[in-house]
Structure 1
């Protein structure tokens, strides 16, 4: 049965039921035909024959009475009527005798009918002679009738009565037998009908059981699968549609079990920081499952690529921080030298004030010192330009790092959403999704920590950018001051040249130089503080870059 299709099973069961019903119907029809034949034979042998004999006896008695009336009647008109009436009875008797002869089927009945016809012939001769004599003499006719016709009539009546009694008795017996046969036939029909119904019910139950048992097993497997239990197995096997459905259920549960196990392994590895993973069940991802496979490994590639970019950016920030620190240290050293030069210049101008008489010599010395100061200021201006270029580079890199951190925050947010969706799906899966829910919680926790770290890094980078902006502003101010110093130094040099021609203006020029020197001293001190701040900020930026590199180094990225 398992090798047959459901349609063939149903067709075979229907055909068996039809055959059984047909056999029961044929048997019932055979019994009914047999009863009909038996009733027909009984009706023919006893019923019809009994009626014919009864009618013949009644007609014969009426005929006999009419003959007696005719013998006693003397009126010619009345005798004519009686003769006509007698002729009608004679015709009826003849017709009754013909019907009786036709209805006789048994040999004894045929012999009785033949004997009755012989007696009737003898009686007819005696009767006709009696009627002829009655036309002449009523008394002689009566005597003749009594001597010749009456015994024959009596014998005919006795045979008709005896035959009627025998047929009535035999008919009653046959009727009882037929009643018994009818009851037996009815019981047989009922038994055949019950047997057909029982066999049909047995076939229906057998067919139903062959459907219900595998369907219940398949239904149980489907419910367990819907509840997240993929360890359920379907034992039914066959070549029919239910067997094919069972094979499909088994393949589906096995494929889902493989896919969920592979997803759990991949997410567990990524949760442990290992992004260099590959699927061990690539052939199991078919149809709509391919999108799940592609999404997981797209997430892996995006996270790995982002962390690689963070590592690269941290290296660049670290290198830039060291470069800024070195530049700031050089600037601090230059400002120290500038402070020393300013002090020497102040001493020289003090000497010029005390030794006005040596103006020319002092002017020459002042010119040389002013030239030297001018050269140093040009050097400071060049250093400030380099420092401003470095500060702009730091600001650009800080903006790039800010973009990378923004990308990390977006990825962390998307990872958090994906983990939340995974937790919801795990909650729907029930007991079977508990492990998947734990993995989803760990992924969401990692995404939250990544988001918090990125926010902290963003805050530090924003502080660094603000410090760099302040350093840039201070550098611009310093550059402007240096430009003013250069202009002042040029004026001093010009004035020193004109000292020999305008000694009266020497005091004013010295005052201006003194003011310029004070400005230079203020600017130099400001440059020194700015250089120290830049050095401290670059060191902090470098330490943050090292921390970021250490965090990234905990992940095993895709190579």
Structure 2
């Protein structure tokens, strides 16, 4: 069983819609996964920022302890205590961002370690350093010996070394947390890259399948509709010219096939009608010739009135029978014409139905184009969001470059400070230690900034890949929209062809109406002719009483015969226009 036109077109559009829906689902799924991973990456970056700040505060504690030991200034201790407090606060903030229980335990251990460090620093290091500087001042006042001062100095330095080691331990723990988050960032970026590659592969595959289906539909559907419609148009043109020798060859079982079958039935009925009219016109012509012969014989045989009357009576009787036969044939022809008119009306209704279905298909194509436009807008919006992410990554890169520049300048300042301390000799040794620590801190800041810059560069590269993938998706959606628009144009052409078929059916219907009117005229003429025959028979029966009227009766019969012959010739000419 062959498919209907609506089923064929509907199946094609369903296939295209399935492909487009699959592409949209893949795009939405990929975007949702990318959004989730970007949110996780954002949370990890927040933790990294806190951990970097905690590492900076730990480095500040080391620098402050060295400064306090070198100069004995209480401001260094206050700064170290503030840094320890900041580390504890930032650790609390970090715990809020952590979901892993083990990681939270590590942060709790770090907080405890920082608090213990702060308490030991206040209870042990600070008194020892202050005692050392108090002994130094007492030595200048000759209150303490050099051995006492040296012992205090060694104690202070020993404690400073111990606290420096503990601070380094805190710093290492913080860096361990940062390293774990950096690994998470790397894994998230890799997952984003894999998801993007997978989405590109899926979208490319589905787009290729959709393209192949669209190309096949654009080739198969027009070809399946063009040939049958062309056959219908050629058949209608032949029938309109009176050529009824050929039928329309359409093998399809759809609406076009039904129209072709209806036109073939119409051709058969028309052919039968023309043959019947031709046969009846020949009978009428022969009857008219016979009537003329009888009239001539009656005129020439005026002396044998009885024989002429008998011949005329017989001729009149034959004439009435012939007229009745012709009238029956014409009545059947009129009935056939009315039936063919009804069938032509049914064909016109089928054409209107086909036009309506073509219009519905065109509207469906327009709705599909609008849906494709909405999908294109969604993909473009997603591309804009990813591009904005790339812009923000560039801004972060600029900030990291600024941090790196500041670290370089700090390194130069530390070098200058070391040079000045060397010039100062013994009195500048403590300042030299501080300068060295500042230089190390600057180098560490520069390294951290470079690492962050590397991460940002990776994110920017992946963002550019995502933007490129979005551009490819947008192009595929536009290609799908163009295919659907082409289908809509095909529906417009179908509707135009169906309208042409409807016009041909209307012309055929008008022809049948004219044929019915001609049949009515023939019936009227036959009735008139039958009346004339009846009159002739009556005159023949009364000829014995009115012989003078014989000549007039013969003239009337001759005139009617000539008219009948003329009418038969005209009918033959009208019928001969048809080729059967």
TM-score, normalised relative to structure 2: 0.47
Using CA pairs under 8 Å that are at least 6 residues apart, name the structure with larger relative contact order, 1 or 2. 2
Instruction: Mark the structure with the bigger radius of gyration.
Output: 1
